[in-house]
Amino acid sequence: MAVQGFGNIARIPELKRRVFFSLAMLAVYRIGCAIPTPGVNADALAAFFARYKSTLLGLFDMFSGGALERMSIFALGIMPYISASIILELLTVVVPVLAQLKKEGQAGRKKITQYARYGTVLLSLIQGFGIAVGLESMTSPGGALVVPNPGWGFRLLTMITLSSGTAFIMWLGEQITERGIGNGISLIIFAGIVARMPSAIMDTLQMVRLGELSIFMMVLVAAFMLLVIACIVFVEQGQRRLPVQYAKRVVGRRMYGGQTTHLPLKINTSGVIPPIFASSIIMFPATIAQFVQVDWVQNAAKAMTPGGWIYSLLYVGFIYFFAYFYTAVTFNPVDVAENMKKYGGFIPGIRPGKRTADYIDRVLTRITLGGATYLAAVCVLPTVLIGQFNVPFYFGGTALLIVVGVAMDTMSQIESHLMQRHYEGFMKKGVMKGRNG
């Protein structure tokens, strides 16, 4: 059935054009990940990363699709844009001007997006300078300098190169969102993680060959991965359906309403955003700390290594925070209740208006707690367990959650295009009817 669904994509010119455009933009992104930043000794840098592969540097390199290990022009990845977006979303709560812009609809949203772009460039310049200074102090295990000719010339060139690369990635993501299929920023992160999977599999097989990892443990990890994927698919499709009944009303000579429907509330309303936001906040300070040769800073960086209890505690806390924060930003119970009241809808047993809004908010708060707990468990537990057996954490829960979540979201958008034009989707007819009905 899925093969037939893919075949139907070619029968819709608009959908085919969107899919190929998205793939072309992702191909451009992957090509850029292979273009090195000038002034860096690639061999010395690769040797340095081989030593720190199991630290936060390896995790950050996973999100950048290997661009950081090569110190390519896309080494910063899309994380500065995500960080700038987080900062602006937080400021909309406390800054009246931004809060007013958010209420102005599409025009206000464009203005906030423009501010996010400016913030992205500023953060990229700051991070680029920090990385340049860090690279100048790095040496390979053999003693070779990563930057043969350090100085302000190299620092300025690195700042300009890396910030330009991030700005270009940001533009690619926006183009995919507007002219392609799926969320462009999420797809770029998805492509970066998937591109690193083959090398992670080869590293794991190499560990088995050298006896560092037993075959039984590798099979156990693979089975655990499948279990996590099944859990992700199950929860991502889970909904709490609130019954909604519409009263009969007469408009002219026609009678409207009288039917019963439901308001679907997803268990995980925020999707993969909380883990991405949490990772972007935790990774950068701890990564920069790797390059500061001070004892207490080094100890703090070691404590922030994935699998450690401090890292896990902070990660879980940020996941819970962003799960509630992003849900509050994207779903407004007051607006939903007002729209229901306007069209004569009500939840049985609940008075329309404020009571309905309070009821929806209470239900949403409870299921968001479950969704945040699911996110924290999927992202942290596999990383902790796998870390105990010296398995590369490319197989950890965060990577699996992003890959499966983004894939499901993109497939859902493709399926909606197919169903609008009466083509068979990726799922069986009975399942589609049950889900939409």
**H, E, C per residue of 90-118:** HHHHHCHHHHHHHHCCHHHHHHHHHHHHH
112/166 same-domain check: yes
Domain finish residue from 150, 180, 210: 180
Instruction: Note the helical H segments in 180-304.
Output: 184-209, 215-236, 273-289, 295-303
DSSP β-ladder status, 239-246 and 345-346: antiparallel
User: Which of 409, 330, 324, 401 minimizes the C-alpha distance to 367?
Assistant: 324
Residue 9 lies in a domain: no
Give the pLDDT score at 171. Answer: 92
Give the pLDDT score at 437. Answer: 38
Residue 376 lies in a domain: yes
User: Which of 287, 377, 368 minimizes the C-alpha distance to 322?
Assistant: 368
150-196 pLDDT, tens digit per residue, is 888 888 998 999 899 999 999 998 899 888 888 888 888 888 888 87
Give the pLDDT score at 224. Answer: 79
Q: How far apart are CA 219 and CA 338, in angstroms?
A: 53
Across the range 296-307, mean pLDDT stands at 67
Residue 6 lies in a domain: no
User: Which of 193, 143, 152 minimizes the C-alpha distance to 43?
Assistant: 143
Give the pLDDT score at 373. Answer: 92
Give the pLDDT score at 432. Answer: 43
CATH number of the domain where residue 261 is located: 1.10.3370.10
**Which range has the top average pLDDT, 167-176, 255-264, 410-419?**
167-176
Across the range 312-317, mean pLDDT stands at 86
In Å, the largest CA–CA distance within the chain is 87
Give the pLDDT score at 79. Answer: 80
Give the pLDDT score at 283. Answer: 66
pLDDT band at 1 (very low <50, low <70, confident <90, very high): very low
CA distances from 137 to 57, 88, 288 (A): 16, 33, 12
Range of the domain at 136: 33-180
Domain finish residue from 180, 207, 239: 180
146/210 same-domain check: no
SS3 state at 254: strand
391/260 same-domain check: yes
Query: Mean pLDDT over all residues of the chain?
Result: 78
Q: Is the pLDDT of residue 135 over 60?
A: yes
Determine contact, residues 137/293, Cβ cutoff 8 Å.
Answer: yes
Q: How far apart are CA 323 and CA 308, in angstroms?
A: 22
108/206 same-domain check: no
Q: Is the pLDDT of residue 434 over 50?
A: no
Q: How many domains does the chain have?
A: 2
169/213 same-domain check: no
Of the chain, the percentage scoring pLDDT greater than 90 comes to 7
Q: What are 426's strand-pairing partners? A: none
102/203 same-domain check: no
251/379 same-domain check: yes
Q: Is the pLDDT of residue 410 over 90?
A: no
52/157 same-domain check: yes
